[in-house]
């Protein structure tokens, strides 16, 4: 099974799925990681571009179907937060979404998902003002 984890770097899970610079994709079997690969998120927007000089927030958008194309061979995606558009696109394509509340290593999150021990946080969203609605599991 393949599981994608939104990452800020190789050791930290991203707080915002769509802004993560990459996804670490694990191939797992029987609780073991058999393979890992990095897939670049070409839609990532640098954090500094989200505010204007006066402090006004700058709206951002992603082509959510490109996430499906990039991660379509994965059984699930894991992150610390995700907007509703990306979530809907992924789930409509049959990809499970797991938003978690506790930070852990990407490897640990993937192995815990594969073993059925990764509990989702029902209250989490990305925290971005444009995604203020809570995400439901």
User: What radius of gyration, in Å, describes the C-alpha atoms of the chain?
Assistant: 14
% of the chain exceeding 70 in pLDDT: 74
pLDDT digits (tens, 9 = 90+) for 7-33: 998 889 998 898 899 999 999 999 999
CA distance from start to end of the chain: 21
Fold classification of 2-47+62-131 (topology level):
Nucleotidyltransferase; domain 5 (3.30.420)
Pairing of strands 2-9, 76-79: parallel
Average pLDDT on 54-65 reads: 61
pLDDT digits (tens, 9 = 90+) for 83-121: 888 999 999 999 999 999 888 999 999 999 999 998 776
As given in the structure block, the two tokens for residue 48 are 């500094």
Three-state SS for 120?
A: coil
Q: What are phi and psi of 37, to 5 degrees?
A: -145, 155
Confidence of residue 60 (pLDDT cuts 50, 70, 90): low
Pairing of strands 96-99, 32-40: unpaired
Average pLDDT on 44-52 reads: 53
Confidence of residue 122 (pLDDT cuts 50, 70, 90): low
Which residue's structure tokens are 């192995």? 111
Confidence of residue 124 (pLDDT cuts 50, 70, 90): very low
pLDDT at position 66 is 92
| pLDDT at 50 > cutoff 50 | no
Three-state SS for 14?
A: coil
């Amino acid at each position: 099974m393949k599981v994608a984890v939104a990452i800020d770097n190789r050791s930290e899970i991203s707080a915002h799925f769509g802004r993560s610079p990459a996804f670490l994709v694990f191939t797992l079997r029987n609780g073991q990681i058999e393979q890992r690969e990095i897939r670049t998120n070409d839609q990532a927007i640098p954090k500094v571009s989200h505010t204007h000089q006066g402090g006004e927030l700058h709206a951002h958008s992603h082509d959510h179907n490109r996430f499906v194309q990039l991660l379509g061979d994965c059984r699930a995606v894991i992150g610390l937060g995700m907007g509703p558009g990306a979530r809907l696109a992924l789930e409509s394509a049959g990809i499970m979404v797991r938003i978690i509340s506790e930070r852990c290593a990407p490897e640990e999150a993937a192995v815990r998902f594969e073993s059925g021990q990764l509990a989702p946080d029902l209250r989490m969203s990305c925290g971005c003002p444009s995604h203020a609605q809570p995400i439901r599991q």
